Structure 1
Amino acid sequence: MTQIDQFIADFASFVWGLPLLILLIGGGFYLLIISKFLPFRYLGHALQVLRGKYDNPDDPGEISHFQALSTALSATVGMGNIAGVAVAIAIGGPGAIFWMWVSAIIGMATKFFTNSLAVMYRGKDSDGNIQGGPMYFIMEGLGKKWKALAVMFSVAGLVGALPVFNVNQLTQAINFILLEPNGVEVGLGSNLIIGLILVTITSVVIFGGLSRISKTVSKLVPLMVVMYFISVLIILFVNSDQVPYYFGLIFTDAFAADNFTGDSFLGGVLGGLIILGIRRGAFSNEAGIGTAPMAHGAAKTNEPIREGLVAMLGPAIDTLVVCTLTALAILVTGVWQTSDQNGVSLTAAAFNDAMPFYGNYILLICIVFFSISSLFSYSYYGTKCLSFLMGADKKHYYNYFYILSILMGATTTLSMMINLIDGFFALMAIPTMISTLILAPKVLKAAKDYFRRMDLKKKEALETVND
């Protein structure tokens, strides 16, 4: 197991090299510039679309804008925000958060383009149903000669969509917060029991299809975000005198890298810190990875730009807001320097420090919601990848593989699971970003036309009011 763990770690480090950094961050920055910072200029309009102002039940697609964002967020606003941030701080210190922010700001532009393309170039599966996602916009937008990229994305997605990290961290949380303090012996047996319970819950929902998934997570996501948000604000209030210092330290440590303990990159610790922040940011918001376009591609709309605007809100919500709150909670309590815990256990230590006796249990409830909702969404991504590769009539077979992976996630190490998903996320990002950069001019042309029509409608409405 040690050799397998090392092999997977080496694989993740190899694929997360300079070429991918240039593709993800350089490519995202390029999209931000050529769009003239469009994601930030139209935030208000994006919120109007999300609230349902422009919904039309007769538009093609399966789910509403809000359900599409909830499905995508249920996969991103989750353990990446609780455990992923803790991993980043444990290895990189406060400065890692700055580079996660950079990833999110650039990621908003990337998400706008990738998710606009997901609706603009929807394809049909072997059953004739409309589908969206990188594999479809590669085939429909670039043509069959680019099929190798679509296949690469789908094959990598079969592993990248597995819930092993979420399950691993949920199991760790239950052991650390609930079982060990109450004298229950933890080990392979208890982990298997947790895995089997998760298998049962997940099976009930995922075999119900996207409609059941979207309805379930659209109720769970807002609830769990609010609960977690309030809990962290209590921690920050209790330690309010420390907040300004650590908020400033995030910026200064981002370039000093004084607390970085990981592997160097390009000969220096700063390079290693940047890579760490980008990896954890990508895991948090998945901008450029290509999972979210599979959810947003199913939205009920015939306006691709609208869905791109809704999707770009994702990185702002999960990385700029939720990840920052988690990071500050860990930093102001000081547990990042006094505890040898990593992952979700470090976040739990912060909650316990600020809210003794009950803080841990509040976090556990949040973790259960975050993890289980993520389990529902990722299964949908994997079935879409298998459907593309082998036909829609075979997609249900992925769910059996997915269910078995839950048991693997519950019984293996954190490092193995996080490196496994990191590595395959990187492989998914390559075809997603290459195709997005090639098709970007098509999105810009569609955006220009869309906002011209919106301006005309506003002008006509004003003239009607004046008359």
Structure 2
Amino acid sequence: FWAILRGAFTPSGIQGGIVGVMIIGFRRAAFSNEAGIGSAAIAHSSVKTEKPITEGYVALLEPFIDTVVICTLTALVIITSGLSANPGNLAGTQLTSAAFSTVSGWFPYLLLPTILLFAYTTIISWSYYGVKSFDFLTGDYFERRWNNRRIATRMYQLVYLLFTVLGSVLHLNAVVDFSDMLILAMAVPNIIGLYILAPEVKQALREYRKK
């Protein structure tokens, strides 16, 4: 904790923090909880509810649990283990696993099912986002041309499976850099849309609170 405080309130820490937030912080935050890139809205829009504002509250809770709670606890484990000062060649899940192993040798095995579930749910959720988006963009064309919009779904799923295999064999840095680029490409138009539609959300929230 003292290392965090000493590093945060120095001139170099403040300067580096500003640059880090602008370049790295936004990308990592978006990659962690999807806030601001518009992908989670695809899943939330499929929920059947008479009051969309309530689903908005659920969407607000997700980034807090994911980033503020889980990611902060993971970072504290790595910092308190001492590996943050000298990680060596470790990165990502390997670094987290090594930090857990400093407490007990069987802790990495406890972490393994968590990582597997995270990877599996990520593959499923992003596949769903992509299918819905690709169908929205090309589904009508395939329905007019071949009277079957499921062709668009199958085409996307084949490409998605190919990239899933490539992502599992490529170096982690290459995958993260590619993901960061795509996330930023989605975030810019989505954030502009959020500002444009903010008055409508504010009005809907006012009406919900009056009830």
TM-score (normalised: structure 2): 0.87
Matches within 5 A, 1:188-337: 246=1, 248-256=2-10, 269-274=16-21, 275-337=23-85
CA contact (8 A) 2:27 2:183 kept: no
Correspondence for 1:366: 114
The Cα of 1:259 is off from its aligned counterpart by 8.0
**How far does the alpha carbon of each residue in 1:277-298 deviate from its partner, in whole angstroms, 9 at most, with x for none?**
2221111111101110000000
Evaluate the alpha carbon distance shift between residue 345 and residue 298 of structure 1 in structure 2; reply closer, same or farther with a 3 A threshold: same
Evaluate the alpha carbon distance shift between residue 449 and residue 310 of structure 1 in structure 2; reply closer, same or farther with a 3 A threshold: same
Q: 1:352 aligned to 101, 108, 114, which one?
A: 101
Letter in 1 for 2:159: F
The Cα of 1:257 is off from its aligned counterpart by 7.8
Alpha-carbon distance in structure 1 between the residues aligned to 2:69 and 2:86 = 25
**How far does the alpha carbon of each residue in 1:235-272 deviate from its partner, in whole angstroms, 9 at most, with x for none?**
xxxxxxxxxxx2x5435433538689xxxxxxx53333
Correspondence for 2:206: 448
Alpha-carbon distance in structure 2 between the residues aligned to 1:278 and 1:438 = 21
CA contact (8 A) 1:256 1:270 kept: no
Evaluate the alpha carbon distance shift between residue 255 and residue 426 of structure 1 in structure 2; reply closer, same or farther with a 3 A threshold: farther
Alpha-carbon distance in structure 1 between the residues aligned to 2:113 and 2:11 = 34
Unpaired stretches in structure 2, ≥5 consecutive residues: 140-148
- Number of aligned residue pairs: 199
The Cα of 1:374 is off from its aligned counterpart by 1.2
Correspondence for 1:145: none
Q: Does 1:395 align with 2:153?
A: yes
Alpha-carbon distance in structure 1 between the residues aligned to 2:198 and 2:5 = 32
SS in 2 for 1:302: coil
Evaluate the alpha carbon distance shift between residue 360 and residue 258 of structure 1 in structure 2; reply closer, same or farther with a 3 A threshold: farther
Alpha-carbon distance in structure 1 between the residues aligned to 2:9 and 2:34 = 24
CA contact (8 A) 2:38 2:186 kept: yes
**Where do 4+ consecutive residues of structure 1 move more than 4 Å?**
257-260
Alpha-carbon distance in structure 2 between the residues aligned to 1:259 and 1:407 = 39
**How far does the alpha carbon of each residue in 1:39-94 deviate from its partner, in whole angstroms, 9 at most, with x for none?**
xxxxxxxxxxxxxxxxxxxxxxxxxxxxxxxxxxxxxxxxxxxxxxxxxxxxxxxx
Letter in 1 for 2:29: G
Evaluate the alpha carbon distance shift between residue 259 and residue 448 of structure 1 in structure 2; reply closer, same or farther with a 3 A threshold: closer
Alpha-carbon distance in structure 1 between the residues aligned to 2:52 and 2:192 = 19
Q: Does 1:417 align with 2:164?
A: no
Q: How large is the Cα RMSD of the aligned pairs?
A: 1.9
Give aligned-pair identity as a percent: 39
The Cα of 1:323 is off from its aligned counterpart by 0.5
Evaluate the alpha carbon distance shift between residue 323 and residue 302 of structure 1 in structure 2; reply closer, same or farther with a 3 A threshold: same
SS in 2 for 1:337: coil
Correspondence for 1:117: none
Unpaired stretches in structure 1, ≥5 consecutive residues: 1-245, 261-267, 454-467
Letter in 2 for 1:289: I
**How far does the alpha carbon of each residue in 1:427-450 deviate from its partner, in whole angstroms, 9 at most, with x for none?**
101111111101111111111111
Correspondence for 1:342: 91
**How far does the alpha carbon of each residue in 1:359-392 deviate from its partner, in whole angstroms, 9 at most, with x for none?**
2211112111111111111100010111111014
Evaluate the alpha carbon distance shift between residue 360 and residue 259 of structure 1 in structure 2; reply closer, same or farther with a 3 A threshold: farther
Q: 2:185 aligned to 416, 424, 427, which one?
A: 427
Q: 1:408 aligned to 166, 170, 178, which one?
A: 166
Greater relative contact order (CA < 8 Å, ≥ 6 in sequence): 1
Correspondence for 1:436: 194
CA contact (8 A) 1:296 1:307 kept: yes
